[in-house]
Chains A and B, each alone.
Chain A
Amino acid sequence: MSALLEAVGLRKTFRARGRLVHAVEGVSLAVAAGEALGIVGESGCGKTTTARMLLRLEEPTEGGIRFDGADITKLHGNALRPFRARAQLVFQNPFDALNPRFTIRRSLTEPLRNFGVAASEHRERIDAVLRRVRLTPPESWLDRRPHELSGGQLQRVVLARALVPEPRLIVADEPVSMLDVSVRAGILNLLREARDALGLAAIYISHDLALIRYVCERTLVMYLGQVVEEGPTAALIAEPAHPYTAVLVAAVPVARVDQNRAALPVRGSLSDAPPTAPGCTFRDRCPHAMPRCTADTPALRSISGDRRVACHLGDLP
Chain B
Amino acid sequence: MRGARNFLKFLRGEPFAAVGAAIYSVIVVVAVFADWLEPYAPRAILKVGPRVARYLPISAAHWLGTTSSGRDVLSQVIHGTRSALVVGLTAAIAVVAIGTLLGLLAGYLGGWVDRVVSWLADIVLGLPFLPFMLILAALTHPGTGVVIFTVAALLWPNTARVIRAQVLSLRERAWVEAARVTGCSTARIMFVHVLPQVLPLAALYGSVAIGWAILAEASASFLGFGDPETVSWGVMLQDAYANQALSRGAWNWFAPPGAAIMAMVLAGFLISRGSEKLLFPKLAEQ
Which A residues lie at the B interface, using CB under 8 A? 55, 57, 77-78, 81, 84-85, 88-89, 91-93, 96-101, 110-111, 114-115, 158, 161, 165
Shortest CB distance A85–B (Å): 6
Q: Give 1 or 0 for each of B144-173: 1 = CB within 8 Å of chain A CB.
A: 000000000000000000000000000001
On chain A, the residues within 8 Å of B177 by CB distance are 57, 89, 91
Q: Give 1 or 0 for each of B166-208: 1 = CB within 8 Å of chain A CB.
A: 0000000111011111111110100001001100000000000
On chain B, the residues within 8 Å of A99 by CB distance are 175, 178-179, 193
Q: Which of A78, A88, A92 contacts B181 (CB 8 A)?
A: A88
Of chain B, the residue at the smallest CB distance from A52 is B177
Q: How far is the CA of A89 from the CA of B177 in the complex (A)?
A: 10
Q: 10 closest A-B pairs (Cβ-Cβ)?
A: A114-B183, A111-B182, A96-B174, A97-B174, A99-B175, A84-B183, A89-B181, A91-B174, A81-B183, A115-B183
On chain B, the residues within 8 Å of A111 by CB distance are 182-183
Of chain A, the residue at the smallest CB distance from B193 is A99
Of chain B, the residue at the smallest CB distance from A106 is B192
A-B contact pairs, 25 of them (CB 8 A): A55-B181, A57-B181, A77-B185, A77-B186, A78-B185, A84-B181, A84-B182, A85-B183, A88-B182, A89-B177, A89-B181, A91-B178, A92-B174, A93-B174, A96-B173, A97-B174, A97-B175, A98-B175, A100-B175, A101-B196, A110-B184, A114-B185, A115-B182, A161-B182, A165-B182
On chain A, the residues within 8 Å of B193 by CB distance are 99
On chain B, the residues within 8 Å of A77 by CB distance are 185-186
CB pair A96 B184 closer than 8 Å:
no
On chain B, the residues within 8 Å of A97 by CB distance are 174-175, 178
On chain B, the residues within 8 Å of A96 by CB distance are 173-175
Of chain A, the residue at the smallest CB distance from B175 is A99
CB pair B180 A57 closer than 8 Å:
yes
Q: How far is the CA of A93 from the CA of B181 in the complex (A)?
A: 15
On chain B, the residues within 8 Å of A88 by CB distance are 181-182
Q: How far is the CA of A94 from the CA of B184 in the complex (A)?
A: 20
On chain A, the residues within 8 Å of B179 by CB distance are 99, 110
On chain A, the residues within 8 Å of B180 by CB distance are 57, 84
Shortest CB distance A178–B (Å): 11
Q: How far is the CA of A93 from the CA of B178 in the complex (A)?
A: 12
On chain A, the residues within 8 Å of B175 by CB distance are 96-100
On chain A, the residues within 8 Å of B186 by CB distance are 77
On chain B, the residues within 8 Å of A100 by CB distance are 175
In chain B, positions 268-286 with a C-beta closer than 8 Å to chain A are none
On chain A, the residues within 8 Å of B188 by CB distance are 114
Interface centre among A55, A96, A97, A99 (most CB of B within 10 A): A99
On chain B, the residues within 8 Å of A93 by CB distance are 174
Of chain B, the residue at the smallest CB distance from A78 is B185
On chain A, the residues within 8 Å of B181 by CB distance are 55, 57, 84, 88-89
Interface centre among A81, A96, A158, A161 (most CB of B within 10 A): A96
On chain B, the residues within 8 Å of A55 by CB distance are 181
On chain B, the residues within 8 Å of A115 by CB distance are 182-183
Of chain B, the residue at the smallest CB distance from A111 is B182
Shortest CB distance B184–A (Å): 6
Q: How far is the CA of A55 from the CA of B175 in the complex (A)?
A: 15
Q: How far is the CA of A161 from the CA of B177 in the complex (A)?
A: 13
Q: Which of A78, A81, A161 contacts B178 (CB 8 A)?
A: A161
Shortest CB distance A73–B (Å): 17
On chain B, the residues within 8 Å of A92 by CB distance are 174
Shortest CB distance B168–A (Å): 16
Q: How far is the CA of A165 from the CA of B179 in the complex (A)?
A: 13
On chain B, the residues within 8 Å of A158 by CB distance are 178
Shortest CB distance A161–B (Å): 7
On chain B, the residues within 8 Å of A78 by CB distance are 185
